[in-house]
Amino acid sequence: MRRTRVNELFGIEHPIVQAGMIWVSGAKLAAAAAEAGALGLIGAGSMTPELLRAQIRKARTLTARPFGVNLPIFHRYAEEMVPIILEEGVRIVFTSAGSPKKYTPTFKAAGIVVAHVVSTPELAKKCEDAGVDAVVAEGFEAGGHNGRDELTTMVLVPQAVDAVKLPVIAAGGIGDGRAMAAAFALGAEGVQVGSRFVCAAESSAHAAFKAKVVEAGSTDTFLVLKPIVPVRLIKNSFCRRVLDIEAAGADKEKLSELLGRGRARLGMLDGDVEEGELEIGQVSGLIRDVAPAAEIVRRLVEECRAAIASLS
Amino acid sequence: MRRTRVNELFGIEHPIVQAGMIWVSGAKLAAAAAEAGALGLIGAGSMTPELLRAQIRKARTLTARPFGVNLPIFHRYAEEMVPIILEEGVRIVFTSAGSPKKYTPTFKAAGIVVAHVVSTPELAKKCEDAGVDAVVAEGFEAGGHNGRDELTTMVLVPQAVDAVKLPVIAAGGIGDGRAMAAAFALGAEGVQVGSRFVCAAESSAHAAFKAKVVEAGSTDTFLVLKPIVPVRLIKNSFCRRVLDIEAAGADKEKLSELLGRGRARLGMLDGDVEEGELEIGQVSGLIRDVAPAAEIVRRLVEECRAAIASLS
């Protein structure tokens, strides 16, 4: 497997990042990804500050390899989580959903490697200006929360590569080694993989949610709730109700009311796969099993090698 | 440049198809693309039957190389155009926007090579069952009319490749050789390129439309008019009015009224770049000049070679 600046920056064997995801990526998944030679990320987005601290400590007992934390900047506990990340000696932080200016100086001053998730090349440039070390360019096909401009991975990645000197990590639609090779062809130096790791044996996703992702066909996700915040979900009963009231011209208020609170936890962690919000990418159509993280990484690397070999 | 079944099927030097586009791809562009070693397509979608006949004859005076016709099946003149295509001895037809069963038997009986444009892997399978020779898998980032399931090129192409034994031609988001190499990594055996050829010197697009595409930034297109038929447009005054009334919850009727008739011609051929409908792909953010078709093909091939070389 080729080595890039992404390998060097994070000190990892394969230029693969296991995405930090709410309700899915705790210490167990992050450590398993790290042990497999990828970068594992603990997803702080669904945690309380004290749970985040406990998960960081737990991950350290499970692996001596590098892992990091994904911190959504809009998170209601973000402000409290920053000192915890510093106190616990985390070396790598991925920030998302907010300005890269907000915490980058603090993290950089502590010697932390910072990556930030972007949905446009313009935001990639802002990251560079803010002193970030790498950008994750995430396309429209990605699961969960999503940019408003709807740029796909195929068009976003090369434009981000052209916009900055920083290494670009491609995200959105990458579930196998063919897409990983494609990302490299577009100029990315690494990939961030989310949905495929939802179906890792070590992910905290409920077994019923994993089964739903394995069953999902190619057209079983959709980007909904655009007036509130765009999010890609599996089309279950809840999602179909959202689609129906959106088609009828529902406004922000009606959608917020329907969404209510705790829908993501209900679906992803508690396993109510009809009434919960199931955040997953379009690539779920290509996911056909639950497998250990090590096996997922092994397949990605092998398929990527094969795809590259087939090109020459 | 690698040779694939797409080269063999169409008898072309490079596995590149110049997309058949309304108001843009007449005989001049198709012949220029053919002379450059790609497959040129005459876009019948905006023509009358007699204009199509004249354009086929004209293309033949301009090139001895293979070219084809793109026929949208929903076209009000489609039924009249089929005998013209047969009478004029066209050897290659790309059909789109309708069932592949409708005209494939007629064309195949005349020895014509048939490709069909699809937006899902399920439709790719239907094409195979209908006896089509190749499928064009076109993603959400593509310009103009678009599938309802919003699958992007990155996730659609590998799923189409897995679904059929036919050669898959990737479309949507392919404006340079990096994306062409990425498409090959995903398993495609050829690429269909639209937006980049809108800005070919030989395209019939109005100079003001070409200038608008060259100026367009990365986030300057959007998929609108979903309740009527989803179409990707440049965000000009007309498009912004559509976005406004869509945000206000407009229904089919209101949108149809706003759209009116002849908007695409007004913008793309007549050059009213504010009040016309300008169909173009997300990749317009990467298009920085108007260039001869031969130069566009040369760059695609050279950049694709360089991208592949960089992977090994």
- The answer, for A122 touching chain B at a CB cutoff of 8 Å, is yes
pLDDT at A171 over 80: yes
Q: DSSP state, B134?
A: E
Residues A166 and A82 in one domain: yes
Residues of chain B found within 8 Å of residue A149, distances taken between Cβ atoms: 218-219
Distance to chain A for B278, nearest Cα, Å: 18
Structure confidence at residue A85 (pLDDT): 98
What are the angstrom distances between the C-alpha of A60 and each of A90, A155, B11, B238, B269? 10, 37, 59, 56, 63
Query: What one-letter code names the amino acid at A212?
Result: K
The DSSP annotation for B46-99 comes to G--HHHHHHHHHHHHHH-SS-EEEEEETT-TTHHHHHHHHHHTT--EEEEESS-
**Residue pointed to by tokens 């060097």:** A8
Q: How far apart are CA A73 and CA B231, in angstroms?
A: 34
Claim to verify: residue B82 and residue B97 sit in the same structural domain: yes
Nearest to A154 among B139, B249, B312 (CB): B139
**Rounded mean pLDDT of chain A?**
97
Cα separation, A70 vs A81, whole angstroms = 11
Beta carbons of B184 and A311 less than 8 Å apart: yes
B218/A285 touch (CB, cutoff 8 Å), yes or no = no
Closest C-alpha to B232, from B103, B306, B145, B134: B145
pLDDT, one tens digit per residue, over A105-133 is: 999 999 999 999 999 999 999 999 999 99
Tell me which residue of A71, A167, A160 sits closest to A124, measured CA to CA: A160
pLDDT of B239? 97
- Write the pLDDT tens digit of every residue in A178-189: 999 999 999 999
Question: Following DSSP, what letter does each residue of A14-46 receive, concatenated?
Answer: SSEEEPP-TTT--HHHHHHHHHTTSEEEEEGGG
Contact pairs from chain A to chain B, CB under 8 Å: 168
Q: What percent of chain A has pLDDT over 70?
A: 100
| pTM confidence score | 0.97
Residue A312 has pLDDT above 90, yes or no: no
Per the CB < 8 A criterion, the answer to whether B219 and A159 are in contact is no
Select the more confidently predicted residue: B59 or A261. Answer: B59
Q: Are residues A166 and A272 in the same domain?
A: no
Do A143 and A221 lie in one domain? The reply is: no
Round the average pLDDT of chain B to a whole number and report it: 97
Q: Is the pLDDT of residue B175 over 80?
A: yes
Same domain for B90 and B163? yes
Beta strand pairing status for B231-234 and B144-145?
Answer: antiparallel
Judge whether residue A25 has pLDDT over 90.
yes
| Beta carbons of A179 and B173 less than 8 Å apart | no
A117 CB-contact burial (10 Å; exposed 0-12 / middle 13-18 / buried 19+): buried
Q: Is the pLDDT of residue B82 over 80?
A: yes
| Per-residue pLDDT band at A250 (split at 50, 70, 90) | confident
Summarize the confidence of residues A139-162 as an average pLDDT. Answer: 97
- Of the candidates B147, B139, B268, which has an alpha carbon nearest to the alpha carbon of residue B192? B139
For residue A267, the 8-state DSSP code is I
Q: Say if the Cβ atoms of B153 and A150 lie within 8 Å.
A: no
pLDDT in tens, B121-146: 999 999 999 999 999 999 999 999 99
| Contact call for B152 and A173, based on CB within 8 A | yes
* Assigned token pair, B252: 């089919």
DSSP 8-state assignment for residue B267: I
Q: Bridge-partner residues for A137, per DSSP?
A: A118, A170
Tokens of B140: 């959400």
- Tell me: do B92 and B239 sit in the same domain: no
Q: Residue A92 in 3-state DSSP?
A: strand
The least confident of A173-177, A261-265, B14-18, B165-169 is A261-265
* Residue (of A169, A172, A212, A185) closest to A312 by Cα position: A185
Q: Does B155 touch chain A (CB under 8 A)?
A: yes
Task: Please indicate if any CB of chain A lies within 8 Å of the CB of B138.
Answer: no
A200 class by beta-carbon count within 10 Å (0-12 exposed, 13-18 middle, 19+ buried): buried
Q: List pLDDT tens digits, range B178-236.
A: 999 999 999 999 999 999 999 999 999 999 999 999 999 999 999 999 988 999 999 99
Q: Confidence band (pLDDT; 50, 70, 90) for B2?
A: confident
Position B178 scores a pLDDT of: 98
- CA distance linking residue A162 with residue A122, whole number of Å: 11
Starting at the earlier edge strand, list the strands of the sheet with B144-145. Answer: B144-145, B231-234, B221-224
Residues B142 and B227 in one domain: no
Nearest C-alpha in A relative to B283: A155
Q: Distance (Å, rounded) from C-alpha B43 to C-alpha A251? A: 40
Question: What does DSSP assign to residue B6?
Answer: H
* CB of A89 closer than 8 Å to CB of A113: no
Whole-number pLDDT of residue B190: 98
Q: From the candidates A155, A189, A223, A282, which should be mutated to test the interface with B, based on the most B CB atoms within 10 A? A: A155
Amino acid code (one letter) for B25: S
Domains contained in chain B, number? 2
Q: How confident is the model at residue B177 (pLDDT cuts 50, 70, 90)?
A: very high
Residue A165's CB is within 10 A of a number of other CB atoms, namely: 6
Residues of A in contact with B1 (CB under 8 A): none
CATH number at residue A120: 3.20.20.70
Percent of chain B with pLDDT over 90: 94
Do A215 and A197 share a structural domain? no
Smallest Cβ–Cβ distance between A282 and the set B152, B307, B308 belongs to B152
pLDDT-above-70 percentage for chain B: 100
Across the interface, do A150 and B2 touch by the CB < 8 Å criterion?
Answer: no
Chain A residues with CB under 8 Å of B311 CB are 2, 181, 184-185, 308, 311-312
Which A-chain residues 281-310 have CB contacts (< 8 A) with chain B? 281-283, 285-286, 307-310
Which tens digits make up the pLDDT trace of A190-247? Answer: 999 999 999 999 999 999 999 999 999 999 999 999 989 999 999 999 999 999 999 8
Nearest CB among A219, A286, A309 relative to B149 is that of: A219
B152, B159, B184: best to mutate for the A interface, most A CBs within 10 A: B152
A256 and A299 part of one domain: no
User: Which among A140, A149, A311 has the least Cβ separation from residue B152?
Assistant: A140
Q: What's the pLDDT score for residue A241?
A: 95
From B250, B283, B308, residue closest to A312, measured CB to CB: B308
* pLDDT band with cut points at 50, 70 and 90 for residue B13: very high
Residue B203: predicted pLDDT: 98
Range(s) of the domain holding residue B254:
207-283
- Does the beta-carbon distance from A149 to B179 stay under 8 Å? no
**Is A219 an 8 Å CB contact of chain B?**
yes
List residues bridging with B224 in a β-sheet: B231
CB of B139 less than 8 A from some CB of A = yes
Q: How many CA atoms lie within 13 A of A47 on its CB side?
A: 26
pLDDT tens sequence across B222-271: 999 998 899 999 999 999 999 999 988 888 888 999 988 899 999 999 99
Quick one: A49 and A143 in the same domain? yes
pLDDT of amino acid B260:
86
Give B179's contacts in chain A (Cβ within 8 Å).
154-155, 158, 185-186
**Judgement on whether residues A17 and A136 belong to the same structural domain of the protein:** yes
Half-sphere exposure of A64 (CA within 13 A, CB side): 0
Asked if pLDDT for residue B1 goes beyond 80, the answer is no
* Chain B residue with the nearest C-alpha to that of A172: B154
Distance CA B83, CA B93 (A): 13
* Segment B53-63 mean pLDDT: 98
| Residue in chain A lying closest to B179 (CA) | A186
What is the DSSP secondary structure assignment for residue A291, as one 8-state letter?
B
Whether residues A269 and A295 share a domain: the answer is no
